[in-house]
Amino acid sequence: MDMHNPAHPGELLREYIPADMSVTEAAQRLSISRQALSALLNGRSGISAEMDLRLADALGTTPGFWLRLQIQRDLWEAQRKRRLKVKPFPKAA
């Protein structure tokens, strides 16, 4: 499946947080530090399984939603940076 620069999950998360809610308040509601949420929102950190569950509880999304977004982003970045030539395994007889 070809992907074209999927958004970092933090970009989408910004749209889920109400405009009148501060990062500090959102972080408190998620029981994480303001710095951790800021890093996520600004694409400096990724979604963990624990964060996925916190976001699912806070936002009413399904468990795994945020992790799938993170995996798509990680895979796109890995494909873009891949430089090593891998030799296929021989076919089993």
Separation CA 23–CA 37 (nearest Å)? 7
Q: Of how many residues is the chain composed? A: 93
Is the residue at 16 inside a domain? yes
pTM of the full structure? 0.84
Is the residue at 65 inside a domain? yes
Which sign, positive or negative, has the C-alpha torsion 57, 46, 79, 91?
negative
Is the residue at 2 inside a domain? no
Is the residue at 74 inside a domain? yes
Instruction: Provide the domain limits for residue 75.
Output: 9-81
Is the residue at 90 inside a domain? no
Find the distance separating the first CA and the last CA of the chain, reported in whole Å.
Answer: 29
Mean pLDDT score of the chain, rounded to an integer? 94
CB of 49 closer than 8 Å to CB of 63: no
What is the CATH classification number for the domain harbouring 25? 1.10.260.40
How many structural domains does the chain have? 1
Helices 49-59 & 65-81, crossing angle to 10 degrees? 140
Give percent of the chain with pLDDT exceeding 70. Answer: 97
Is the residue at 33 inside a domain? yes
pLDDT in tens, 28-64: 999 999 999 999 999 999 999 999 999 999 999 999 9
